[in-house]
Amino acid sequence: MKLSQIADRPGARRGHFRIGRGIGSGKGKTGGRGGKGQTARSGVRIKGFEGGQMPLHRRLPKRGFRNSPFALDLNEINLDRLQSAIDKGKIDAKATIDTAVLVKGGVLRRAKDGVRLLGKGALKSKIDIVVHGASKSAQAAVEKAGGSIKVLAAKKVPPAEPKGKNARAALGQGAKAKPAKTAENQAEPEGS
């Protein structure tokens, strides 16, 4: 067998159907595009159009919130990649490692909003690193190697008081919480 003899099974690749080549071809005249008008042309923008009335996607109320404009765009780096850069001499393990050092060493292309350290791979070197976020396994690995890690992002603290009407109602604090039934409330009113 030769490379030139390898081919698809017969019928696997169908030839390109040439449209607009005469009425006898089966795809002539209008070429499968129906009659005249907007849909017969290229660049049609008619998907949400409802004959001039307000389309459905504009009639429905908008709900929810997207955090994407405010979300931090962090570089993710694993321990094995960091150790590889130290072994190659791109990063000095004795100095404090931060985003600027990683960019200067060629480990990262650009700083973005900071660095998040992940725990894939092994870390042998003792390092002092400053990152915006780190996984628990990465923190444990850095501390196990004798290094220190400083996380710049503030820790999430649960609120002392539940936020939102549903959370308060679940604890019986909100407006939806119904008063407990007493013997006086259960008694039927007179004259009924």
Q: By C-alpha distance, which of 131, 132, 149, 129 is closest to 140?
A: 149
Q: Does 85 map to a domain? A: yes
**Domain CATH code at residue 113:** 3.100.10.10
Q: Does 100 map to a domain? A: yes
Q: Does 170 map to a domain? A: no
Q: Does 125 map to a domain? A: yes
- Contact (CB, 8 A) for 46 and 40: no
Q: Does 22 map to a domain? A: no
| Structural domain span for residue 89 | 75-151
pTM of this structure: 0.52
- Which residues of the chain carry a pLDDT beneath 70? 173-192
Q: Does 54 map to a domain? A: no
Q: Does 176 map to a domain? A: no
pLDDT tens, residue by residue, 151-160: 997 777 777 7
